[in-house]
Structure 1
Amino acid sequence: MTSRLAGSASPYLRAHADNPVAWYPWGAEAFAEAARRDVPVFISIGYSTCHWCHVMARESFQDAATAAELNDGFVAIKVDREEHPDVDDAYMAAASAFTRNLGWPLSVFATPDGRAFFAGTYFPPSPRGGSPAFRQILAAVRDAWTQRRTDVQQTADAVVQALRTAQDAASTGSDLPDVDALAGAAARALAREDREYGGFAPPGATMATPKFPTVPLLRFLQAPALAESVPEARAAADRALRAMAASPLRDTVDGGFFRYATRRDWTVPHYERMLTDNAGLLEVALDAGDHDTARGVTAFLIDVLQQPSGGFAAAQDSESWIEGQRSEGGYYARDTDGRAALEPPALDGKIVTGWNGMAIGALARAGAMLGEERAMDAARWAADAVLETNITADGRLARASLDEIVSPAAATLEDYGLLAGGLLALAGASGEVAYAARARELVDDCLSDGGVPAVPGGGDPVLTAHALPGGASAGDGDHPSGPSALAAAALDLWLLGAGERYREVAASLVSSRAEQALAEPTAHGALLRVAARLAAPPRQIVVVSDGPSALVDAARRLPADVTALVTPAQSLLLADAGFTLFDGKTGTPLADSAASADSTVPTVYDCRDFSCRLPVTDVEALGR
């Protein structure tokens, strides 16, 4: 049993603390030990709700003989990909040199300075289906290290050089895309729509082809800038949402969505449930006007994933215990009454900063659009919890926490951007200036190095120390990448009147990745959505009211790039804090002379195409 993982802020690492493998957590100590012993490093990357990670753990990492071979010939490192996404990105990119079957668990063999020279995913305990046994892999790697060291070093050098070349090519700048270029990207994405079952699939997909929600792509297709040039874009996103919501991918008991379907028709889900997917699909449902689905996801986020601390758990497991056996999906196959007698699948209670930002923003918008105060309360609670707990000793953001134990993993650009975006959405929905001001600080923290966007503190120290390149592309997978998230938050700040420099930051981030994003729209949906918002004149709506009214209800459902619901006092505070959108927007005084001098009627300010209409105080005028 090892004690190195027992006090981790990761449930995934804690679950491996009693393995006979002498695991190290990610950090400089492990690599120093490998150099001292002159042995290779085995890096095992996964996450707590990963089914095949559980399987490999049971078959290999809990096996005494396998553990003995690992301990004797390697330094073994266990990494939670959700705690260290930049580490996962770097080694996933390296693994692509050795296998096309990428995924988790990710098994990487590296030199003591961190350079990968062989990689794969799940390895079985005995040869199976053309895959060698894990112990055979260990023996072969150990033989190569001791007998053919020069070949190993050359392979590691070649992988690093190839990644650096790809990284340099991916960072080549281009012009900011216009609406025509974005329409072309949307058309390329629509060519992969599965018109029979909804969603998107590669050419030649069979019924056995897995199907994912692809939330960032759906959000791009919902961009208002595409409405006239590619009207089919929003229709395709709506079709995808309807298909998913009506399929086994959605849990009919509590409204949450599973990670993906293993079949093209959205059946046979992979039963883990992720915070990122559900927060993103809540946004999709709100934009699609599907309020039933939106309310279902809202309930799932609050009732299942929100923790006693206020933050949201990262995920819920696919496996549970039923009648003394581990069951994959068995809990979810039962109805409400059937589940009542069972222990629910475990939660990964890790509070990931950026992912909580996604949930905060989605719930704040749901609260505003649907008039659900519970959603607003949950968003505030989570925001306060993350801002209080997920902070390092030097005052910077931490990547995650668990049971108020702060992870040593540095926050990523994704964390800063997504949390800032969530706080800005919460500020707009609640009118509370503190959230907007803190969001601006987070974005400014990423611009402190001469205005060039970068992670405060320089990112992961081990990757930096060994000069290990990350992934060649900052793509948007199941949620926005760091550059996309920061660009979106910066653009939101500009829309609130924080200053022109924030638009320039957003435009620079989009331009630096535009060429690749336009060519591969399915992998860069979040960046393209920001590009679409930059390509069209904005619509900004400020609703000033001391309480609910029919006008407020009508206004908060209007399509806009930013909608802010504020009291007259809050509008003054926001204007004083430097958010110039609120300048002079304090409502319309009551005509009744007997009323208090500072009493106002609900007022809507509608700014479009860089000009503002006259204030509106009744629903009929708002409609016109």
Structure 2
Amino acid sequence: MNRLGAATSPYLLQHAGNPVDWWEWGEDAFAEAKRRNVPILLSVGYAACHWCHVMAHESFEDEATAAYLNEHYVSIKVDREERPDVDAVYMQATTAMTGQGGWPMTVVMDHEGAPFFAGTYLPDQPRHGSPSFLQVLRALSGAWVDRGEDVRRTAANVAEHLRKEASLPSYALTGERIDGAVATLAGEFDPMAGGFGQAPKFPPTMVLEFLRRYRGESEQQARHMLARTVAAMAGSGMYDQVGGGFARYAVDRGWVVPHFEKMLYDNAQLLGLYARLGTDLGARIATETADFLLRELRTAEGGFASALDADSPAELGEHAHEGLFYVWTPTQLVAELGPDDGAWAAELFGVTAEGTFEHGTSTLQLRHYPQDPADQDRLAEVRRQLLAARERRPRPARDDKVVAAWNGLAISGLVDAARRLDRPDYLAAAVEAGELIAGLHLQDGRLRRVSRDGVAGTHAGVLEDYGCVASGFLALAQATADARWLRLATGLIDTALAEFAAPDGGFYDTGAGAEVLVTRPRDPGDNASPSGFSSLVHALVEAHALTGEGRYRDAAETALATVSVLADKAPRFAGWSLAAAVTMLDGPLEVAVVGPAGPQRDALVARALALPGAVVVAADEAEEGIPLLAGRTPVDGRPAAYVCRGFVCERPVTEPAGIG
């Protein structure tokens, strides 16, 4: 076992038995490379990454490749989910040097951490015009020895390029510019299959929430793009039609075949989005996805694990196979369900003899949900039986580390579902996760990025941790009327404003006291999850609504101006910022509902929650610790809603129709 045997990261532990003499990221590894005068190989991935597993099997488990690495390099392995700062810096370099990024990421660098080679997956044999991993290693080692000055000059130039911050104009995201973003999205929309672009297709959750909130000249078009995409994803092979929850993305335009890993950050966001739709489809998908989270990702401590692997072993001792846990043949359906239900399920789910995946297997798709109640009951029983049958298959591995940011997203999503679907069990799970983050990850006012088995890791939280956890705590404050959650949230926001602020009003991804890397990472663009920037902006907007603190809104407005160019040019990567900007145009709507619990109060809350972007807090009586609730009382003994928007408050109303 190499040095990774003492790691806490499940991804690093996957490589603990490699013959490669891996080091964790740290000063010792750099000092060793300098002592031996060899370059540094940096390999970055994550536990659920299929191609990371492939490269590990082909190269890092190979004795000859490992021997060459051990002799000519110091090799460092990094879990991108544990160290997003390291990942961000070298992904920026990889994209700049190759034009594309992804994982596994393979970087070779000098003793100062400056890269002179970057790539992604490298095969064990030359394929499709690409050299093998070992050929690349030999060429780079030879260059280091024979042309050392040239190599170091190249590395220094790359490092200097990374340090240069582009100076972009800042301007307000006005209604006109937001209209323009919708028009740009319409030009990239896939009218046949939903979603944006061709293949692969990722769930555009943050963009869809922007379209849900949008009110403007292209509102009808925005609604169409939203409805078409949420329906397509819900009926697709990317959605787990048996167990609920979404895979990370579809490899094809039509959403048929997924990349089978299931990530917490995707499912947490999609859970909330579908719950907020206010439709039968939304309620069904939100319920199934929330149940998946609680069944398969919840940890013993009450948090949520990071991911389920794409792969599962065919038989004990064999190498993993992607998707094996999730796919079916007609014969397998008949064997589990009997001839009649098996044939019915095969037709309903699009399972064919030819197959839609590999080796005659098919993913399950549900393009048309049954309308007949008897067929709906039949489908529920089929799903129950198939889920039980699937439990007998070898399960994909689970990355059980708890990431603060993604648990913040899960808290928010569960609260959305709990309040809209009348599921107090979802709220209880959200509170329990919040208690874990508050009690374990939050230490001396600072967040720790990860924990595992109830032990906090050493890595400091990054901006997305502060933004997502603060939003999760604010969601709990609204759902429970417990002022403690508001205090915790504003404490995190104040720390973020002090530690992560950039001179132009935007934010860095790492705090002022974080480890100094080649450059200080700063990326306001959303990817599969909200950027630290956009997550903090949302927390600022909600905190302003609950507290009335003008400095929070000022900080949000100033920050949004710094991403105006991104929102104009590439709105697919600014969806969460655009959603915040839409909310801030004339709001957000602030609603305090006060009065005894029961159907009358529930009706007021439901009406308020149906309004996009609304901040809604409900309580039995006034709560001075939550300023939006301060001084609020029932009206004539009946629950009343106090509605404010744009610094103007209306008279309290006791009927849902008065909220709007």
Identity of aligned residues (%): 39
| TM-score under structure 2 length normalisation | 0.86
Name 2:481's counterpart in structure 1.
431
Question: 1:584 is matched with which residue: 631, 634, 657?
Answer: 631
Question: 2:562 is matched with which residue: 507, 512, 515?
Answer: 512
CA drift of 1:253 comes to 1.4
CA drift of 1:130 comes to 1.4
Alignment of 1:359-374 (within 5 A): 359-374=410-425
Name 1:566's counterpart in structure 2.
618
Looking at structure 2, the residues matched to 73 and 364 of structure 1 have their Cα atoms a distance apart, in angstroms, of 52
Name 1:458's counterpart in structure 2.
512
Question: 1:241 is matched with which residue: 230, 246, 258?
Answer: 230
**Matched-pair contact (CA < 8 Å) for 1:365–1:426:** no
**Matched-pair contact (CA < 8 Å) for 1:545–1:552:** no
Question: 1:341 is matched with which residue: 381, 389, 392?
Answer: 392
**Matched-pair contact (CA < 8 Å) for 2:303–2:407:** yes
Alignment of 1:348-427 (within 5 A): 348-392=399-443, 395-427=445-477
Counterpart of 2:208, as a letter, is: L
* Residues 315-354 of structure 1, C-alpha deviations (whole Å, 9 max, x = no match): 1111112333422111112532431212421111110001
Counterpart of 2:581, as a letter, is: A
Counterpart of 1:563, as a letter, is: V
Question: 1:174 is matched with which residue: 166, 170, 177?
Answer: 170
**Structure 1 stretch displaced more, 348-357 or 230-239:** 230-239
**Matched-pair contact (CA < 8 Å) for 1:312–1:382:** yes
Counterpart of 1:183, as a letter, is: D
Name 2:190's counterpart in structure 1.
194
CA drift of 1:362 comes to 1.1
**Across the two proteins, how many residue pairs are aligned to each other?**
592
Alignment of 1:287-366 (within 5 A): 287-289=276-278, 290-324=282-316, 325=318, 326-334=320-328, 335-366=386-417
* Residues 415-467 of structure 1, C-alpha deviations (whole Å, 9 max, x = no match): 0011001110111111111111100000001123697656685264141xxx4
Looking at structure 1, the residues matched to 70 and 438 of structure 2 have their Cα atoms a distance apart, in angstroms, of 40
**Matched-pair contact (CA < 8 Å) for 1:253–1:336:** yes
Name 2:352's counterpart in structure 1.
none
Question: 2:639 is matched with which residue: 590, 602, 624?
Answer: 602
Looking at structure 2, the residues matched to 494 and 623 of structure 1 have their Cα atoms a distance apart, in angstroms, of 20
Looking at structure 1, the residues matched to 105 and 17 of structure 2 have their Cα atoms a distance apart, in angstroms, of 20
Counterpart of 2:180, as a letter, is: G
Looking at structure 2, the residues matched to 122 and 469 of structure 1 have their Cα atoms a distance apart, in angstroms, of 26
Counterpart of 1:194, as a letter, is: D
Looking at structure 1, the residues matched to 472 and 434 of structure 2 have their Cα atoms a distance apart, in angstroms, of 8
Looking at structure 2, the residues matched to 449 and 182 of structure 1 have their Cα atoms a distance apart, in angstroms, of 30
* Residues 71-108 of structure 1, C-alpha deviations (whole Å, 9 max, x = no match): 11111110111111121111011012332342110000
Does residue 446 in structure 1 map to residue 496 in structure 2?
A: yes
CA drift of 1:283 comes to 2.3
The secondary structure found in structure 2 opposite 1:384 is helix
Looking at structure 2, the residues matched to 451 and 338 of structure 1 have their Cα atoms a distance apart, in angstroms, of 52
Looking at structure 1, the residues matched to 73 and 231 of structure 2 have their Cα atoms a distance apart, in angstroms, of 49
Name 1:218's counterpart in structure 2.
208
The secondary structure found in structure 1 opposite 2:644 is strand
Q: Residues 109 and 355 of structure 1: is their aligned pair in 2 closer, same or farther, counting only changes over 3 Å?
A: same
The secondary structure found in structure 1 opposite 2:254 is coil
**Matched-pair contact (CA < 8 Å) for 1:320–1:330:** yes
Counterpart of 1:243, as a letter, is: A
Name 1:158's counterpart in structure 2.
157
Looking at structure 1, the residues matched to 389 and 119 of structure 2 have their Cα atoms a distance apart, in angstroms, of 39
CA drift of 1:189 comes to 1.2
Name 1:500's counterpart in structure 2.
550
Looking at structure 2, the residues matched to 498 and 439 of structure 1 have their Cα atoms a distance apart, in angstroms, of 14
Counterpart of 1:191, as a letter, is: G
Looking at structure 1, the residues matched to 315 and 125 of structure 2 have their Cα atoms a distance apart, in angstroms, of 28
| TM-score under structure 1 length normalisation | 0.91
Alignment RMSD, CA only? 2.0
CA drift of 1:494 comes to 0.6
Structure 2: any 5+ residue segments left out of the alignment? 329-385
Counterpart of 1:178, as a letter, is: T
The secondary structure found in structure 1 opposite 2:616 is strand
**Matched-pair contact (CA < 8 Å) for 1:447–1:454:** no
Looking at structure 1, the residues matched to 173 and 46 of structure 2 have their Cα atoms a distance apart, in angstroms, of 36
Name 1:593's counterpart in structure 2.
none
Structure 1: any 5+ residue segments left out of the alignment? 591-600
Name 2:148's counterpart in structure 1.
149
Alignment of 1:486-497 (within 5 A): 486-497=536-547
Counterpart of 2:166, as a letter, is: D
The secondary structure found in structure 2 opposite 1:527 is helix
Name 1:597's counterpart in structure 2.
none
Looking at structure 2, the residues matched to 623 and 97 of structure 1 have their Cα atoms a distance apart, in angstroms, of 50
